[in-house]
Chain A
């Protein structure tokens, strides 16, 4: 037995009314015979029978209104023929009597109308906000001005640029098992860029933090203060704050540890009479400021003297390359700069070719950029000897750590007025400055180091 249901006649129709039954139970029904007349808000039409056979029970009496999909009547089919009736019947049988077909997706095999007919369950469209997607442009001028810029702008910049890692950087770190904290960032705000990571990898830097070796632990103990000296089992109690180490700090720590670990370092000092150098600087200071816009300190004079002396003692102008010790012709002087982020040593390349003025300008530029974190990779690479102006803190003697992989480092301590005894035993007030040298004892002995310092002292004392 097959069930005939209320079809959807016309767009947006939801229900229909039976105007008149044209067949009564027991009447023969041929295919397409009109069964009844249906009226909807859109059209009135006869319902052609989808089945052939005998009219069965009528479920909806004349005059009554039922929703689309409701069962209207039954038709007792003549035999079980493979007629199209089978298709409709299967659907009809599955339909509940008081609801539309729950599943009217196209694949369900039931059509609910042409392009202008809205399937019943889709009639209620979700409400979209008045401006909806166009909210941003509804304001017209303001929005369009914002968008009229010729280029798109990056909208968000994280506050701590040093900690911001791009997807490319993260991927490379993962691939090469690198701790990004070790890498110095040359991007805007000190951001570690892809190229920074690639250079780091290319320079053969350690790819992971190894467990501290016993030797490291020993050195760490010696270098540290009270805490390390105490037995390991006794940890200090009381409130404390963990000091978070910046990437730069960590890198500095790593470099210095390495330097200490690998290079047996010795130290020596001379004192020099810099009265002449001080006077010379005083004479040049104003003109220099006026002409170059750079403040003239003693450092460029000192550095010029260092360069000349290194020419005499080239074994101090060297770098380790693995096991190989390379003595360089170029004098690439690393200048230690203490920034608020940590120590950096930018390099004045070919410093030996520069005059005092040239050195002053170049050092001034590097220092300035170091402070605002605008140093480029090439600014910090390739140094062969380091000069450290420790005197700027007021120090009169210091023991610098050799700047790995270089082999020597010299400090310029503070110039102070002192009473000194002259050759003729008279006492005079002179500007005196200590110059300290730490050196890698593998690369040279005290003789070379001492001679270097003596020559440097002579040059400095000869200035002015």
Chain B
């Protein structure tokens, strides 16, 4: 147990230890908690018949927030996948927008009701629009990085996916391409143990997704994706290296999908309550809370304050979003082609 120090000393110590300031650590918890509470509320709305489809990232918040916080907001590009609510919140999405997106409202900037929920996309935040087809975004990430390199723009692209996506051809083509051209891409795989009902042994003959990097001559890392700080500490240096021309990385964050694949999935068909209970005990939110308490990062009252704030934000977001206009039928028309 370290003795209590002055605030300034405390901050410096935190940064030394975690590469993160007290404020950043508080933000980390805030984003993770906000992602979870939003997802919980979304599922409740779905169970009440008020939201069509929920595909959540419960259990992966630490991996997502830890990685996203290593990026330069507004500069670096992100090609996320549908579970990455945490990533989007870090980059600037607020609770209201998350709800607009869930309800496919007319003014949702991600896709204006034209795609299913959790299909992210935002111009200013540099979030690349993605479809339901997994892994295609990995090639897009490589293309963005290639273009940035041609333009000599020092950006990094974070492309994330689940471990199931790594079976698809585009994954291999993207890693191959990025490695050949030494592109500044962080291929971030959130290995949550399941691709719907299929465990990882059905997706690959390897234990670690990261082992695939050797086939592409690429640097890689495996990190505990339930530990936001560890994830940050792994991704941040990789981002810095990539930005300086160090080439692409494959980073695998081990985590666990606490909820079923989506609101349409019944996971009791393929996993046991016992397994779920085991992993629930390792809930990343719990872990972070524990870490804060154990290492006296900041007082528990601050965590409570964050909890209260998040609850209020979520309640407000649902109320507000429900009142926002739905797309009109004719809003289906337009923008098939872009006209400048």
A and B touch in the complex (CB under 8 A): yes
CA distance A43 to B260 in the complex (A): 11
A114: contacting residue among B264, B268, B322, CB under 8 A: B264
**Proximity bits, B147-181, A CB within 8 Å = 1, else 0:** 00000000000000000000000000000000000
Chain B positions within 8 Å of A45 at CB level = 47
Chain B positions within 8 Å of A42 at CB level = 266
A111 touches B47 (CB 8 A): no
- Tell yes or no: B26 within 8 A of A by CB: no
Given contacts A48-B44, A84-B318, contact A114 B50 (CB under 8 A): no
Chain B positions within 8 Å of A8 at CB level = 49
- Tell yes or no: B263 within 8 A of A by CB: yes
B49 touches A111 (CB 8 A): yes
Q: How far is the CB of B228 from chain A (nearest CB, A)?
A: 26
**Proximity bits, B43-79, A CB within 8 Å = 1, else 0:** 0101111111110000000000000000000000000
Chain A positions within 8 Å of B47 at CB level = 7, 9, 45, 47-48
CA distance A83 to B50 in the complex (A): 14
B44 touches A114 (CB 8 A): no
A87 touches B52 (CB 8 A): no
Q: How far is the CB of A50 from chain B (nearest CB, A)?
A: 5
- Tell yes or no: A32 within 8 A of B by CB: yes
Q: Size of chain A's interface in residues, with CB distance under 8 A? A: 30
CA distance A34 to B188 in the complex (A): 37
- Tell yes or no: A115 within 8 A of B by CB: yes
- Tell yes or no: B116 within 8 A of A by CB: yes
CB-CB contacts below 8 Å: B298-332 with A: 315, 318-319, 322, 326, 329
Chain B positions within 8 Å of A186 at CB level = none
CA distance A424 to B277 in the complex (A): 144
**Proximity bits, A107-145, B CB within 8 Å = 1, else 0:** 101111111110000000000000000000000000000
- Tell yes or no: A11 within 8 A of B by CB: yes
CA distance A114 to B56 in the complex (A): 13
B322 touches A111 (CB 8 A): no
CA distance A9 to B44 in the complex (A): 11
A114 touches B319 (CB 8 A): no
User: Closest residue to A50 on the B side, CB-wise?
Assistant: B48
CA distance A82 to B48 in the complex (A): 18
User: Closest residue to A114 on the B side, CB-wise?
Assistant: B53
A117: contacting residue among B51, B116, B264, B329, CB under 8 A: B264
CB-CB contacts below 8 Å: A412-446 with B: none
- Tell yes or no: B262 within 8 A of A by CB: yes
A84 touches B322 (CB 8 A): yes
A115: contacting residue among B41, B264, B268, CB under 8 A: B264
A88 touches B319 (CB 8 A): no
- Tell yes or no: A276 within 8 A of B by CB: no
A87 touches B49 (CB 8 A): no
- Tell yes or no: A10 within 8 A of B by CB: yes
A116 touches B48 (CB 8 A): no
Given contacts A115-B53, A116-B264, contact A87 B44 (CB under 8 A): no
B49: contacting residue among A7, A11, A32, A107, CB under 8 A: A7
**Proximity bits, A60-83, B CB within 8 Å = 1, else 0:** 000000000000000000000011
User: Closest residue to B329 on the A side, CB-wise?
Assistant: A107
B52: contacting residue among A32, A82, A88, A113, CB under 8 A: A113
Chain A positions within 8 Å of B116 at CB level = 114-115
**Proximity bits, A96-113, B CB within 8 Å = 1, else 0:** 000000000001011111
CA distance A60 to B48 in the complex (A): 17
B264 touches A88 (CB 8 A): no
CA distance A32 to B47 in the complex (A): 11
Given contacts A48-B44, A48-B47, A84-B319, contact A43 B268 (CB under 8 A): yes
Q: How far is the CB of A342 from chain B (nearest CB, A)?
A: 59
Chain A positions within 8 Å of B262 at CB level = 114
Q: How far is the CB of B118 from chain A (nearest CB, A)?
A: 11
B50: contacting residue among A11, A32, A87, CB under 8 A: A87
User: Closest residue to B40 on the A side, CB-wise?
Assistant: A32
**Proximity bits, A18-56, B CB within 8 Å = 1, else 0:** 000000000000011000000000111101101000000
B322 touches A87 (CB 8 A): yes
A10 touches B50 (CB 8 A): no
User: Closest residue to B54 on the A side, CB-wise?
Assistant: A114
Chain A positions within 8 Å of B46 at CB level = 111
A83 touches B319 (CB 8 A): yes
User: Closest residue to B326 on the A side, CB-wise?
Assistant: A109
CA distance A107 to B318 in the complex (A): 20
Given contacts A83-B319, A107-B329, contact A114 B263 (CB under 8 A): yes
Q: How far is the CB of B163 from chain A (nearest CB, A)?
A: 22
Q: How far is the CB of B49 from chain A (nearest CB, A)?
A: 4
Chain B positions within 8 Å of A7 at CB level = 47-49
Chain A positions within 8 Å of B318 at CB level = 84
Q: How far is the CB of B339 from chain A (nearest CB, A)?
A: 29
Q: How far is the CB of A244 from chain B (nearest CB, A)?
A: 55
Q: How far is the CB of A139 from chain B (nearest CB, A)?
A: 36
CA distance A356 to B52 in the complex (A): 92
Taking A10-B264, A113-B52, A114-B116 as known contacts, 8 extra A-B pairs with beta carbons closer than 8 A to each other, sorted by chain A number, are A5-B49, A45-B47, A50-B50, A84-B319, A111-B50, A111-B52, A112-B52, A114-B53
Q: Chain B residues in contact with chain A, CB under 8 A?
A: 41, 44, 46-54, 116, 262-264, 266, 268, 315, 318-319, 322, 326, 329
A sample of 11 cross-chain residue pairs with beta-carbon separation below 8 angstroms, ordered by A number, consists of A7-B48, A7-B49, A43-B266, A44-B268, A48-B44, A48-B48, A82-B319, A84-B318, A88-B50, A112-B49, A114-B54
Instruction: Please list the 7 inter-chain residue pairs (A to B) with the smallest Cβ-Cβ separation, ordered nearest first.
Output: A114-B53, A111-B52, A48-B44, A116-B264, A7-B49, A42-B266, A114-B264
